[in-house]
Amino acid sequence: MMGFFDIFKSKPLEQEREVEQKTESDFSHFEEVTEYLYTRSGITDLGSRRVSISKLKSFSKEENIHTTEEFLSKLQRDSNFYQEVLNIVTVNETYFLREVKELEWLVSLVKESSRDFKILSLPCSSGEEVYSILILLSEQDIDLSRVEIVGYDLNSKMLEDAKKAHYSERSVSNLTPTQKQKYFMQNGDGTYEVVPQLKARARFEQNNIFELQKKNEFDILLSRNMFIYFDEAKRDKATDIIVNLLKEGGYFIKGHADTIYNHPKLEGVRYGVYRRV
């Protein structure tokens, strides 16, 4: 038989169960979310990335969102939520001097010319590509004031990291000890921080390639290791946008793993490099 005090013990338990039932999540038709993210940001392989999907679901529960419908509606009306979701699902792997041959070619192009260059790294992730270019230009004693260099990426967290410019041992492992000593300050926590003279030369902006409308703006545009996450339709669209961003005669450098389609306004110059005609 239930004693007097048992009434007080059992009530909260019942209430807890009721709350649990009410907040039980139903993420059926979650492919609607991946479809939405594909349309807006171009990310195609999300549906097959089980870890990213389960991260998204845990994140939404933390945000007190328990159905696909609520998730979608918040994505559409809350830009901060959309940004946090993008920060979870984008793949940001990068490091210094990645695919360095094309970077060396870029530096020789600048060195052989006397004019100024406007360069875009799209996507720049946490900034390693931008600072690698600045390091290689400095190694050739090129006056950095001739070069304006900017990095764009979709992931706001990566851009914060790019601006801080603190890098791990792993990220700088392709640099020589002399380069590390010359272009970084070693912090107490073991990270390498880019020297202020180079930091001051780099600019970073958050942008989704599919929302860019600028035209004839850059002399050199690097787009490496982003096309691999796009399907053919998005790759074609991204190539059109890149062609528009380039000045006539400007250069597009793609990543080794990236596939692009033949474009009437792009002619091959050397492996992985195209010129806008």
Interacting residues toward ligand SAM by CB under 6 A: 41-43, 90-94, 98, 123, 125, 129, 153-155, 158, 208-210, 224-226, 229, 255
With a CB cutoff of 8 Å and minimum separation 6, the contacts of 136 are 97, 103, 104, 106, 107
Nearest to 165 by CA among 209, 137, 203: 203
Name which of 250 and 255 has its Cβ closer to ligand SAM.
255
Shortest Cβ distance from residue 106 to ligand SAM (Å)?
13
Name which of 142 and 228 has its Cβ closer to ligand SAM.
228
Name which of 34 and 225 has its Cβ closer to ligand SAM.
225
* DSSP-based three-state secondary structure for 266: strand
Name which of 154 and 165 has its Cβ closer to ligand SAM.
154
- Other CB atoms closer than 10 Å to residue 215's CB: what's the count? 11
**Backbone φ, ψ for residue 80 (5° rounding):** -65, -40
Contact 275, 249 (CB under 8 A): yes
Shortest Cβ distance from residue 254 to ligand SAM (Å)?
10
Shortest Cβ distance from residue 122 to ligand SAM (Å)?
6
**Backbone φ, ψ for residue 39 (5° rounding):** -60, -40
Shortest Cβ distance from residue 41 to ligand SAM (Å)?
5
Contact 94, 131 (CB under 8 A): no
Supply 131's token pair. Answer: 């600072």
Name which of 155 and 239 has its Cβ closer to ligand SAM.
155
Shortest Cβ distance from residue 155 to ligand SAM (Å)?
4
